[in-house]
Structure formats: structure tokens, C-alpha cells
Structure 1
Amino acid sequence: MRALHPDHHRVVEALTTPDLASIVDLVVWVTTDEGGELAAYAANHLGTVRWGVSGRRELVSGIDPIGSEDPLAFLPYAAELANPSPRVSTDNAYPDAAARLRSFFGHPDRSPDLAIVHTPRHYFPDEGGHRGEHGSLDVIQSRAPLILSGRRVRRLGHLDTHARLVDVGPTLAHLAGVPASDLRDRHGEPLDGQVRSDVLDDGEPGPVVGILWDGAHCGDLLDLAASGELPGVARLIETGVAYQGGALAQFPSVTLTNHTSILTGVGPGRHGVLGNVYYDRATQERVVPNDESTWHRSGEWLDPAVRTVFEMVADHLPPGSTPRTASVDEAIDRGADYSTMQLIRASGSTTGAGGLGDQLPDSHASPFLADPDHLDDGYFSWGVQVDDLGWQQIRRLWADPAHAPRLTWWANVVTDAGHHAGGPRSEIARAALRQSDARLCAFLDLLDRAGATDQVSFLLTADHGFEAADPPVTGSWGPALANLGVPYRDEGPGFVYLF
């Protein structure tokens, strides 16, 4: 049962005043109705709405704060360019809001009492914010690219539809040979995601390569590919399919929540990774999985009931000298035969990925770097190093494609760094996309030389989208919470736990 805290309404009232409207887009929560189902709510200074079991949105008070639930809002791309980072929620879109909120608030110990959704323009550097932001329930921050290509993928070009990030894991597993009957968790429950059979042909399973460009902005990526600036992506689309509406992230649209949702096929209420930082009431622990010192421990926070795609694939392949599955630069690696994080764990390092400094390539010497000035941004510079190290691992794993893993997952981080540094469409963000595309081209060239390209299925995606914050739009809801005199924790910030 999901009961409201005695001070819930006071807290919501304090957070939905007009003077906070520039930074508080929505306050969201759930309650358990008489039938035991979770009803979802969203409120701001305009009014409050409720999604019941039917999924229909019902006005509770005031004016409906939800402008749209259209997953294809702000398409074609020119529509997004005409209204970037909408100023008010009634001009925005929040697709599949009820289902995503029910999942987010579905964990018995880790879900907060309520969550505060930042407005797209909120700039909060003192609390970890950047020029480019994500995490929202809204469509642009939740829209990740999704491209499939190669073996068993139909040549459909651009499709005017969308998918979900929870569909990625089941699709990868299916392409690698996992039957539909085994796309389940350890309790036998079906996954939240589904195989994207709408773009696949029948055929024998074969090697699969899943590629994640962290934080890659869907609209800009597809636009740059169409203009010839991302030839690797363009080549995948030419021999496959791109979803114009991308793949919808789980809420919150942040890194570790959605890496985990991708690689387990279930939402946060089931896999347990509620965000990049959250509180666990059962252990009374503040959990920070999205940190270089803790990424290699991410498997510790997964709910025991979930299975990763690596575990699903391994269950259908015999052990051998060749890795059946490989996880490159990915935190959610449980069950992978080869894993970057496994190497970190084996090293005994107490600083996690932070202890890799002496093993990382020199970012200034990267053959994929176009503008050395971008290295002035520390995160970008580190992203170049990590992605170059990832490329070295991919080259070793695929030196002989005949003995490559059945499933390879290849995460890249510099795209996230570029979008945080400058926001979508900035030069540093586009440079990060071009750099990642250059690594993709190098991989495709490797496969071409071996005559193996046509034998591989490819999937390219991201973990969330991005919007540009507006530096003058600053502020904090901290004082409004503190003035209530109600004991609370605000993690994220935005996850409010009441005591």
C-alpha cells in the first residue's frame, strides 16, 4: 500500500506556489486506490491532475498542467528548434507519464514520497546542474535515439513512431538467440519491455552489437546524420531503421536508471536503481551509483529478481573460451563474460574507475579528437580517454569476428560530457557526436575488412535526451521545504523523502 505522509499536502502546496514556477515544472507522486492499484498525480502552480487505473487523465483542481502526452511532440525537428526548452508545462509533452510514474514510485524501500521535476530551463550549478540538462518527465529530455541495422533488421529508413528504452534489452536478447518465452525475470514475470519485432525479420540468431552514446540528443543526431556529418550513423540508417520519435526513457531520465532499464528490460520500480542518487529506507543508506568510485559496484544495487541481458543470453549459450557476452565501459555488467568493470573489481582498487588514470590514453593524442580546446572541460577530456580505452577493448574483442562475443555492449560517455558542457546543438555537443561517429566508422571499417559486416546486428541508442538550461533561471526549492519544519531528505535534488 502507498499511503500519503500526514504532511504531504502541505509539502505539495509549498512547492507549487507561483514564485517557484520558474524552477518547479511538476510535483509528482502516487497513491494506492481502493483496488490496490497505483494512481499517479502531477501538480504545479496551475492545478493538479490524476491518472487512474484506466490511464485516463482526470482534472483534480485548477487548470490541467499537462499540455500533451504525445510521444511524437516537437516533430519534425524544426518544431523543437522553434520551441526549445518550453517555459510552461502546458506547452510541453509528458508521454506515458502514468506508467513511468507508477514504475518510479513502485519500489517499497527506495521510492521517495514525491518527486520534484525541474523546469527545462532551470540552471542549478550549485547542486550539480549544467548548461545541458536531463532528468525530466518531459519528452525531449526523455527521448533517446534508437537505430537498428544489419542482420535480421528490415530496411525501413525513418519511421514516424517511437519505442521505449525498456524495449532495447529484450530486442538485443532476442537477436542474440533468447526465445520470447525466456524474456522474463527470475520469478518468471514478463519484462516491461518488448522485442521490436515491427522492424525485424525472422532468421537465425547471430552476433549483436549494442552501442550506447550517453546523452546523445535524438533530434540533432538524426539531423546531423541526414546532413552527412555523422556518416557512421547514416550508414546504419541506410541499411536499417531509425525511429523518428526515438526511445522513451524511464523516469527519471538520468543515466543509471536508464542504463539499468535498458539492460534488464524493466523499469526502476522493479530493478531498484531509482536514480543517480537516492535513499534506501531499508538500509538507511544514501546510494550514489553514478560515480566513478561506485560504477563497478552497480550490480550490488540491482533487485535480485531481475536478469540482465548478459545473463539471459548466457543461459542459452554453452560456456567456452570465447566470451559469450561482453560489456565495455558499462556499469550494469552483471553476468557478462568480459567486462570493464570486472577488471576494475579484480584490480582491488578502492577508487573504482577513478583508479584507472594511469591506464587511460592521453586525450590530447586521441585520433578521434577534432578540437583540442574542448579538452579544457575536464569531463569532456576524461570522456575522450574513456571512449578511446573502450575502442581499444572493442578492437581486441573483435580482432577475429568469427570468435567475437554473441552480444557486445559498448557504452560511450563523451557525448554526455559534450551535451552537459554546452547543451544540445552547441558546438562541443556536436563535436562529441562527430567524435563518437568516427569511432563507429572505425569499427565498421574493421568489420568490412574482415567481410563480417553483414553478419552483425547493430543497435544504437542513448540513455536519455537533453535540453538547454537558461543561466538566469536559477533558484532552489530548499527554503520552501525547510520552512515547513517537516523532517525530509532531498536527494538528486528532486527526490523528497518525508519522515
Structure 2
Amino acid sequence: MTATPEQREALIGALCAPELADIVDLVCWVADDPTGRTAYAANSIGRVRFHLDGPAEVVDGENPIGSEDPLAFLPYDKEVADPSPRRSTGNSYPLAAQRLLSFFANPDRSPDLAIVHTPRHFFPDEGGHVGEHGSLDVIQSRAPFILSGAGVRRLGYINAHARLVDVGPTLAHLVGVPDSALVDRVGDELDGRPQVEYLEKGAARSHVIGVLWDGGHCGDLLHLAETGELPAVARLIDRGMALRGGAVAEFPSITLTNHTAILTGVGPGRHGVMGNVYYDRAAAERVVPNDESTWHRSAEWLLPQARTIFETVNDHLGETGGVRTASVDEAIDRGADYSTMALIRASGEAGADALDDALPDPTTSPFLGDPAFLEEDYFRWGMRVDDLGLQQMMDLFADPGAAPVLTWWANVVTDGGHHGGGPRSPMARDSLKQADARLGAFLDHLESIGILDDVTILLTADHGFEGSSPDCTGSWRSALEATGIPHRDEGPGLIYVTG
């Protein structure tokens, strides 16, 4: 069942209590009003109605939304000066109406309410970390968007933004898929669109490569590229362009929600992956696709009408007798001719030990920076996965004539570094430099086999990051329980009324 209006208001009232203001940034929901389905947000100071074509409208109290500007906290010095803003009135929530309407569009999987943690909220007992993401806010939602190589206009740094749902359509357009064919399985247009304004018309290319640095913090990534600490990224930008405002993630700014949005071109209400954990009312089950035991099966939870970029491109290319599309270390791999996750599924193994024998020893990695970071399990595992990922990329491009037309290459250690240390920390920056060195090695390989000038590369991430604060702790659990309304709290932060 879903919440009645009375139940929803009781839960909102409990969550917007002033004593929870340090941990509850916003409470968000969608309701029907005379204009149709409308997105709302509230906190302890007031309530707003979001609009697709204008700023949020205050409907009670004061305006809790400081801004909806996708370019907020630019230039980067402004972000550094005010990391993890203490109050929503000093923050920005870009494209809030579009993102919330998508998130709450699925009657079976969307929650009744979504609680947005304050950037500073530290909740390790419930799955939180030093570095956090998931928010509706601009920094946790800002992923890099860099286009480079064959057919890309050399524009350098641009004060503009895109959306993560634009990434898949852009890759398909680069391969040559007609824009009219960028539709889901039932023929509906995608939420995203190709970013053609950054491309030269009629340019030819032999291969298209999408690179994802999971959790790659956009602002710091571009800053380090400009200061010479990420030379491979700087090399990409010199041959193309980078958006200062990056690409706005879908809500929540969570891994699986946005990997899926990138690779389908639609938001969570249409692709069905509402988070790393959510509840499916129709199946009456808790779904945890982002888990070491289920990661290789994540594509199984896609809704039937969703269509991956691999399926779209393969339909366009037709049968060629070779590997047309490849998915390296990516969970949302449905339709790819070559897939790391398919190898794991075929092995019959699961969990963290899947393909463990194939993962390199991180202590001997040429990309290891500070060995002390290997004590963090996620960072250590991410290094091993990424070293193997680079080897897969080298193998796929050993023979240019047999290399895939479209390749997607996901990297993990950047997420581990930012979770473990928080943005701008030594661990986070070590992870970015590692990823950059692997990328540089691959670019050198493409150059050595004579195809670098014929390749187009798009570098992005699935979300941004902000740092939590050890002195900002607490839980809204008791406040919700005090309402007496039966519910599930998944995440935590996705509230499903159950009775």
C-alpha cells in the first residue's frame, strides 16, 4: 500500500521537527494537485512546491531552498570555502522538479517519502561513511562530463552543465545511432539527449569509449587536472572540453540509480533501480542490487521497458560477427557482447570472492600510491578490480580491427577513496591519481597502435561527494516510530508506509 495524505503529513511533521534539523536537510515527496503531479520539499523552516519552468514556490513558512542553480559553488574556490553547507538555505538543489518527479513515478518501487540527509550527517552505524553522497544537493549530484578526441570541438573548460541521463544518448549518437532511435523498448523518448553542441558535424571515428570513475568528485578532478596533478585528464580536455558544472545525477545521487540512468538514458522512475537498496511493493521484497553477492546480477532489476545503450547500439550495428559492444567492470551490462559481469555469472561464483584468483595483488601494482591506504578494504578491493579492468581494456584493444565500436569502462577505487577519506583527502586524491595513471597508460596504448586520433572518449562519474562531520550524528528512527505508522526505512532515507 501507499501512504494516505494523513499518514504522509504525520510523517513529514515528525521529520521536520527542529530537533532533527542537523540531520534532516529536506523531506521530499510528490502529490497530486490541480496542476497535476507535483514535487514538494520541506524541513523545519518551511515548505516549497517545485516547478519545471521556474523557481520553487513557498507554500508554508520560509523558503528552505537556497538555490536551484546547477552552477552553484563555482568557481571551485567557492566549494572549498563552504564544504558540506550546514543549512539548506545555503545550498543548491538543481533540476529538483524533474528529478523528484522521475524518482516518485514508479507505483511499486518509489517510496512515499525521501529524506535527504544533511551533508554533514555522519551515520556509520547505518551504513554511512566519512565521504557521503545520495543528496539532492548540487555537489553530491555533480559528476564530471568530459568529451575528447575524434569529432569533439576543442573548447576547453565551459561554464555549463549536462545531466547524467545525457551520457548514454551521447555515446549512442557518437556511434551513429539516429536520434529518432533513442527510445525505450515501448518507443517513448528518453529523458536524456545527446550533447551535440560540443561535437563537429559529420566527423568520423572508429571507436567510442565511455569511462566512469565511480564517485569521481567533479570539482576536485577538474582542479587537479588544471594544476597538473591529473595529466591524463588534462590530456583529454586539451583534445576536447569539460563542463565546469558537470552532469547532474538523478536522485538519489546513489551508485546503482545513476549507473542505470547513464546506461539507459532514463531516470529511476522509468528504469526501476531506485537506490542501492529499496522496497518492491509488488514483489513484497527488499531489493539490494548493490551488494557484493548481487552486483553481478544488478541488470536483472531493470524494468522491462528500459533499454541499455548496449542493446541500442547493437540493434543499430546489426550482426557483425565480432564484439560490437563491451562492458568492463560494469553492473548494468545487459546486451553487451563482452561483459566482466557475464564472466562472473558464467563462473558460478558470487560475492567478494568472485574471480578473486584473477584479481592482481595490489601491493605490486604500478599505480599504488600510499601503501597505508590498502588497510581500507574497499580501497584495496577497488585497486585490484581497476588493475584487472585496465588489463581487460588492453586486451580488447590489442587488435584495432577487432576492438569494440562502443566500450564502457567502469573504475571503482575512486569511490573507495572518497568514501574512506572524504573529498580532497589524501586517500581521495590518491584514488584520482591512480585512475588517471591507468587512463594515461590506456591512452598511450591507443597512441602506440595508431588509433588515438580516431577515438572519442567521454569521462564521467555517477555522483559527487561531500564530507560528513563526526560531531553531526543522530537518527530520525525514534521520531518516525513515535507516529505509530507502520513503515520501512530503506537506505536509510526511503520511507515506505506498510500499513
Read off the aligned partner of 2:387 and give its amino acid letter. Answer: D
Aligned to 1:362: 361
Aligned to 2:379: 380
Preserved CA contact (<8 Å) 1:154 1:241: yes
Moved more, 290-299 or 447-456: 290-299
Deviation at 1:55, TM superposition (A): 4.8
Aligned to 1:491: 490
Q: 1:53/1:445 Cα in 2 relative to 1: closer, same or farther (>3 Å)? A: closer
The DSSP-based 3-state class of the residue aligned with 2:380 is helix
Read off the aligned partner of 1:375 and give its amino acid letter. Answer: L
Aligned to 1:30: 30
Deviation at 1:53, TM superposition (A): 6.3
The DSSP-based 3-state class of the residue aligned with 2:172 is helix
Aligned to 1:95: 94
Whole-Å Cα distance in 2 between the matches of residues 2 and 50 of structure 1? 21
| CA RMSD between the two structures | 1.3
Aligned to 2:310: 310
Aligned to 2:258: 258
Deviation at 1:370, TM superposition (A): 1.4
Deviation at 1:58, TM superposition (A): 1.5
Given the two structures, how large is their TM-score scaled by the length of structure 2? Answer: 0.98
Deviation at 1:306, TM superposition (A): 1.1
The DSSP-based 3-state class of the residue aligned with 1:27 is strand
Aligned to 2:132: 133
Preserved CA contact (<8 Å) 2:48 2:58: yes
Preserved CA contact (<8 Å) 1:4 1:31: no
The DSSP-based 3-state class of the residue aligned with 2:140 is helix
Deviation at 1:359, TM superposition (A): 1.9
Whole-Å Cα distance in 2 between the matches of residues 189 and 474 of structure 1? 44
Aligned to 1:285: 285
Read off the aligned partner of 2:295 and give its amino acid letter. Answer: W
Matches within 5 A, 1:47-58: 47-52=46-51, 54-58=53-57
Aligned to 1:346: 346
Aligned to 1:159: 158
Aligned to 2:7: 7
Moved more, 478-487 or 355-364: 355-364
Aligned to 1:18: 18
- 1:478 maps to 2:451: no
The DSSP-based 3-state class of the residue aligned with 1:316 is helix
Preserved CA contact (<8 Å) 2:205 2:456: no
Read off the aligned partner of 2:16 and give its amino acid letter. Answer: T
Matches within 5 A, 1:146-295: 146-203=145-202, 204-295=204-295
Matches within 5 A, 1:388-427: 388-427=387-426
Whole-Å Cα distance in 2 between the matches of residues 28 and 323 of structure 1? 44
Deviation at 1:358, TM superposition (A): 2.0
Preserved CA contact (<8 Å) 2:122 2:128: yes
Q: 1:434/1:33 Cα in 2 relative to 1: closer, same or farther (>3 Å)? A: same
Deviation at 1:365, TM superposition (A): 1.1
Q: 1:52/1:332 Cα in 2 relative to 1: closer, same or farther (>3 Å)? A: same
Aligned to 2:320: 320
Whole-Å Cα distance in 2 between the matches of residues 354 and 284 of structure 1? 29
Preserved CA contact (<8 Å) 1:175 1:206: no
Deviation at 1:139, TM superposition (A): 0.1
Whole-Å Cα distance in 2 between the matches of residues 206 and 9 of structure 1? 56
Whole-Å Cα distance in 1 between the matches of residues 247 and 144 of structure 2? 6
Preserved CA contact (<8 Å) 2:2 2:112: no
How many residues were matched structurally?
Answer: 497
Whole-Å Cα distance in 1 between the matches of residues 375 and 50 of structure 2? 46
Deviation at 1:467, TM superposition (A): 0.2
Whole-Å Cα distance in 2 between the matches of residues 355 and 399 of structure 1? 25
Whole-Å Cα distance in 2 between the matches of residues 295 and 417 of structure 1? 16
The DSSP-based 3-state class of the residue aligned with 2:136 is coil
Aligned to 1:300: 300
Whole-Å Cα distance in 1 between the matches of residues 352 and 194 of structure 2? 33
Is there any run of 5+ residues in structure 2 with no aligned partner, and where?
none
Deviation at 1:60, TM superposition (A): 1.1
Deviation at 1:59, TM superposition (A): 1.0
Given the two structures, how large is their TM-score scaled by the length of structure 1? Answer: 0.98
Preserved CA contact (<8 Å) 1:213 1:412: yes
Moved more, 392-401 or 251-260: 392-401
Read off the aligned partner of 1:158 and give its amino acid letter. Answer: Y
Whole-Å Cα distance in 2 between the matches of residues 247 and 376 of structure 1? 32
- 1:39 maps to 2:26: no
Whole-Å Cα distance in 2 between the matches of residues 15 and 291 of structure 1? 29
The DSSP-based 3-state class of the residue aligned with 1:51 is strand
The DSSP-based 3-state class of the residue aligned with 1:310 is helix
The DSSP-based 3-state class of the residue aligned with 2:29 is strand
Deviation at 1:424, TM superposition (A): 0.4
Deviation at 1:51, TM superposition (A): 2.0
